[in-house]
Amino acid sequence: MKKGSSPENIDAYIAECPLHFQDKLHELWTIIRKAAPGAEEKISYQMPAFMLNGPLVYFAAQKNHIGFYPTPSGVEAFKEDLVAYKTSKGAIQFPIDKPLPAQLVSRIVRFRVKENTKA
């Protein structure tokens, strides 16, 4: 991703990332779309974002990993499932050289959808 640039959509964002990230970013994008079909896709804070009654999840290519940002509640609710990954208050790091935990990502996104759609 070029510093300071702001792509117009998620496809453009992924196209600007290094080639070795692109397949995993497409895979993550697909997982999120399936788990949150009603979410709006956009670029926010210069990274792919999904919105559904407010922020749902974000993701981004970093130097040596893919950052997945399901908000603090999304990390906290799955902390026992995330012990194999570096995490912080609202972020999870997926190493670029390891498979994405597709089922776990899907569960986290569905959890966030439920949170954001509670009346």
pLDDT of 1 above 90: no
Q: Percentage of residues in the chain with pLDDT exceeding 70?
A: 95
pLDDT of 118 above 90: no
Specify the CATH number for 10-113; select among 3.30.1300.10, 3.30.70.20, 3.40.190.10, 3.90.1150.200.
3.90.1150.200
Q: Are the C-beta atoms of residues 68 and 57 closer than 8 Å to each other?
A: yes
C-alpha distances (whole Å) from 8 to each of 42, 48, 82, 93, 119 are 8, 10, 32, 24, 32
Q: Is 22 helix (H, G, I), strand (E, B) or coil?
A: helix
Q: What is the pLDDT of residue 2?
A: 52
Give per-residue pLDDT as tens, 52-87: 999 999 999 999 999 999 999 999 999 999 999 999
Give the span between the Cα atoms of 73 and 14, in whole angstroms.
26
Q: Is 60 helix (H, G, I), strand (E, B) or coil?
A: strand
Q: What is the pLDDT of residue 3?
A: 56
Q: Are the C-beta atoms of residues 50 and 56 closer than 8 Å to each other?
A: yes
